[in-house]
Amino acid sequence: MPFTFSIPSPAGMSPISIEAGSSVVFVGANGGGKTRLAVQIENDGELNVHRISAHRALTLNPSVPKISEKVALLGLRTGHASENAHVGNRIGSRWQSNMAVSLLNDFDFLVQALFADQANKSLETHKNVRAGNMSPAAPTKFERLIDIWKRLLPHRELIISGDNIEVTVPELSTPYKASDMSDGERAIFYLIGQTLTATENSLIIFDEPELHVHRSIMAKLWDELEAARHDCALVFITHDLEFAASRVAQKFVIRDYKHEPSPCWTFEEVPENTGFSEELTTLILGSRRPILFVEGANASLDLAIYRCCFPEWTIIPRGSCEEVIHSVVTMRRNQEFTRVTCSGIVDADGNQADDVTYLNQLGIFTLAVSEIENIFLLPEVSRVIAESEGYIGEALETQLNNLKTEIFKTLDSTAAIDAVVARYCIRRIDRLLKKIDLSGNSDISEITAQYGRETNALNVADIAQEAKKRISEALQNSDLPKLLANYDNKAMMALAARHLKSAKLADFESWLTRVLRNNKVPALVAAVRNALPNVLPR
């Protein structure tokens, strides 16, 4: 029989069904009603629904008084350690009448239940042996916990006796107490224990299952726990996209939550075959803002620039220009994303007027500089940085002129210019080759002919000559903005660091990241924003 619960949504009560041995993942942003959803699901069931809160105490104390297994398990499920405990005690005793935000403090009950299980199974085995029954002993929950622990943390060994828990490290002779475990170790112990002690054929809800667990073992931990309880179904509620992508499960994105006049969640299933990775699809669907695809990786400075200048957008770096184009086109053509708008920004990279027009038609805008870091070398931006350092009047103009002179000096030889032109030609050739689609041909001669047509259309000599002409004109006219639109050289940022802030490159970039994120120099944010394209959601 599957586990079924219903979630209030704008369309009415939306049922969710989960088969035993499988799981479902709900992903949502902070403040998106995730914990309230966990409470809703818990309240939809009896004691066969067990919720592990994100706000949980992780104090591991093996010295707790040992009590009966039944009482310990009822305490674990209801918060009330009594043989007469029932589901009605759960709100007041387990959650202190505040189910969404109360600190879950049930580690003692968990330890008591595990010790009681060990004592009962050991006694049963002892009686069987005394009676001459030599059948294999049933493994205790502690033994199963140790087996899983070993596979996750082979460099740490759990030592569990009849009344104590310790940990040993291979290179150390003296074990350390359970209370001295790291947060991660205690979290892993707790999650394994909670899973193993859950009622048979139950629904277990984990709010923020990634909490305190290192990413290197995250997927393996939950693979182990799902495998350990084929009789149960698991609900994961998280904001961690990497965790969500690691699970083989039904997946839903929480788009919105309203608590008045009554709780209501807007959510949708994460679709397959969108043209994006599952992680990126989940991020897009869960965004409350339009999507802006940009070049580059998750570098702190790049993201700081775009996030401070486009606060109304969700910024997603996509690496190359081609990936930005692909992402915008894919998303705009994909019916799964009809409610989400998107645009893109790419580097100038020598794009000509017809290239810019074509990109604009796709919803992609072009920077005024060859690469995003060049923004800080533009005169209007450099001036603000120098002014923030206290330069005024003649001293200010001297610093800016010195920086400009140093930038132009980096191209004071034919060899230096040729190197820039060569890099540009390589990028153009690479871009063309990535655009060639030969998948529609099945005949070698057709493939050869099409490849020849596509590559012959690219005249490398003409491209090189045009690029060299643009750079030469910028040098002859001392046109710094034009040079920055056609010249890529990471070393120029080091020149800016020295002339504008008398700093090392790393310190300069760290300062830029901080002031952009914190808006500590509003004039700098304004200058950078003015140098970027005016992109509006559509």
The predicted-structure confidence for 299-311, as pLDDT tens digits, reads as follows 778 888 999 999 9
For residue 313, CA distances in Å to 196, 340, 345 come to 43, 11, 12
Token match 């639109």: residue? Answer: 485
pLDDT value at position 456? 83
Q: What is the mean pLDDT of the segment spanning 284-300?
A: 85
- Structural domain boundaries of the chain? 3-136+184-269, 289-410+489-531
Topology, domain 3-136+184-269: Rossmann fold (3.40.50)
d(CA 201, CA 523): 61
Return mean pLDDT, the chain: 91
Work out the burial of residue 173: count CB atoms within 10 Å of its CB; fewer than 13 is exposed, 13-18 middle, 19 or more buried: exposed
pLDDT value at position 457? 76
SS3 5: strand
Nearest to 34 by CA among 42, 232, 500: 42
Q: How many CA atoms lie within 13 A of 78 on its CB side?
A: 18
pLDDT value at position 30? 82
Angle between helices 414-435 and 321-333 (to 10 degrees): 30
Kindly report which listed range (221-230, 266-275, 357-366) carries the lowest average pLDDT score: 266-275
pLDDT value at position 277? 84
d(CA 104, CA 194): 13
Q: Report whether 351 contacts 359 (CB < 8 A).
A: yes
Q: How confident is the model at residue 108 (pLDDT cuts 50, 70, 90)?
A: very high
The model's pTM is: 0.77
Residue 128 in tokens? 């069987």
Q: What is the mean pLDDT of the segment spanning 276-287?
A: 85
d(CA 297, CA 303): 8
DSSP character at residue 511: H
In this structure, the number of other CB atoms found within 10 A of the CB of residue 152 comes to: 17
Per-residue pLDDT reduced to its tens digit, 47-100? 999 999 999 999 999 999 999 999 999 999 999 999 999 999 999 999 999 999
Per-residue pLDDT for 525 more than 70? Answer: yes
Q: Report whether 81 contacts 65 (CB < 8 A).
A: no
d(CA 309, CA 397): 27
pLDDT value at position 538? 64
Contacts of residue 374, defined as CB under 8 A and 6 or more positions apart, other chains included, come to 484, 485, 487, 488, 492
Contacts of residue 397, defined as CB under 8 A and 6 or more positions apart, other chains included, come to none
